[in-house]
Amino acid sequence: MHVTLVYVHVRAEHLDEFIAATRANHEASVRETGNLRFDILQSADDPTRFVFYEAYVDADAARAHRETPHYLTWRDRVAPWMADPREGIRYVGLMPDLSR
Backbone phi, then psi, for 55, in 5-degree steps? Answer: -120, 130
- List, in sequence order, every residue forming a beta bridge with 2; answer none if it has no partner: 56, 92
pLDDT at site 95: 84
Number of domains in the chain: 1
Coil, strand or helix: which one is 85? strand
**For every one of its 100 residues, what pLDDT tens digit does the chain have, with 9 covering 90 and above?**
899 999 999 999 999 999 999 999 999 999 999 999 999 999 999 999 999 999 999 999 999 999 999 999 999 999 999 999 999 999 988 887 766 5
CATH code: domain of residue 83: 3.30.70.100
Expressed as residue numbers, the domain containing 83 is 2-92
pTM for the predicted model, two decimal places: 0.92
Coil, strand or helix: which one is 54? strand
Tell me, yes or no, whether 99 lies in a domain: no
